A and B are shown apart, each in its own frame.
Chain A
């Protein structure tokens, strides 16, 4: 609504030149063309990657945007949880370096197993020490929500509304 008022004000003849100049600057910074520019990554290791209006970030930039469910190898049958540590670009190709969430030790209890239609799995709250997985954004299933709770456990909720 405020935007509409501003646009109306800009169309008036008596609109001060100063405001018109501000609009010109604003359009340069936030227009659709400027948003498109973001996809052309200037840095070889950008902080964010946009895909279908969803932002994937590295862990040091935004923890929530870095937590994902993904297939570590093309032959994997089950996606696992991890956190994007680094985003690398090689020309048009993009690769995520992902640190796996450590699996739940067998002696610890997963209270969510009782509810198979609720898409949550309990992992260890620690991250795996193994080498990072390097996968393309196409191997990513969705973002996840993570809550660390008692006995060094973390519940990972799959936020995808389409996967089974």
Chain B
């Protein structure tokens, strides 16, 4: 990993030596999604992942992809050659190590229990991922900086303050917003909301 990073630093930042994702990679990911046996409580993800027809991937699908399907696909594809370990320092191995630091960070941060040791491990992984991002993916320097990457470092503080993310993330509210958006109003503003209130009532009853 280190040799590759040192080599990359001597090269101009504008040059991208190899294509990261090929059609072969996408096909392999799709095969993993189709063939992996999972229990019924794991939601499905688009089997045509990577194609336009798959639509935009939602947060829950990203979580399953980055915790189950993508690590399996990328490690089995890039982590070895014909069943033998991939050469250390090769482009594929560095790409995989870098991507796996992110997936390991996600696996730790999505746990339902949290300890100071896990929070520190998450922080180390995410910092390592950010530190090597521009070296491994030089084209990323051409994009404007996004706040998500910066925010991911602050998650460490929140893990220490509030515990596991599952107890304070906003997905329940997002889901309620989604339900509200899907209410058929026939473009009428105002009017009768009794069905809406009966829906809220049913939520309270079932809560």
Name B38's contact: one of A8, A64, A117, A150 (CB within 8 Å). Answer: A64
Interface string of B166-186 (1 = CB under 8 A from A): 100000000000010011100
- Known A65-B40, A159-B42: A111·B80 in contact at CB below 8 Å: yes
Whether A145 pairs with B75 at a CB distance below 8 angstroms is no
Once bound together, how far apart are the Cα atoms of A34 and B183, in whole Å? Answer: 30
Number of interface residues of B (CB under 8 A): 43
Interface residues on A, range: 35 or more
Once bound together, how far apart are the Cα atoms of A117 and B103, in whole Å? Answer: 9
Once bound together, how far apart are the Cα atoms of A163 and B194, in whole Å? Answer: 46
Closest to B110 in A: A161
Contact of A106 with B by CB under 8 A: no
Once bound together, how far apart are the Cα atoms of A1 and B83, in whole Å? Answer: 51
Whether B76 pairs with A120 at a CB distance below 8 angstroms is no
Nearest-neighbour CB distance to chain B for A157, whole angstroms, equals 6
Contact of B138 with A by CB under 8 A: no
Q: Note all chain B residues with C-beta closer than 8 A to A162.
A: 111-113
Q: Note all chain B residues with C-beta closer than 8 A to A78.
A: none
Contact of A155 with B by CB under 8 A: yes
Once bound together, how far apart are the Cα atoms of A62 and B37, in whole Å? Answer: 9
Once bound together, how far apart are the Cα atoms of A55 and B41, in whole Å? Answer: 8
Nearest-neighbour CB distance to chain B for A64, whole angstroms, equals 5
Nearest-neighbour CB distance to chain B for A52, whole angstroms, equals 11
Whether B71 pairs with A161 at a CB distance below 8 angstroms is no
Once bound together, how far apart are the Cα atoms of A151 and B42, in whole Å? Answer: 27
6 contacts across the A-B interface (CB closer than 8 A): A1-B183, A5-B195, A67-B39, A112-B75, A114-B100, A119-B107
Which A61-88 residues have a C-beta within 8 angstroms of B? 62-65, 67
Whether A54 pairs with B198 at a CB distance below 8 angstroms is no
Q: Note all chain B residues with C-beta closer than 8 A to A22.
A: none
Name A155's contact: one of B72, B84, B182 (CB within 8 Å). Answer: B72
Contact of A24 with B by CB under 8 A: no
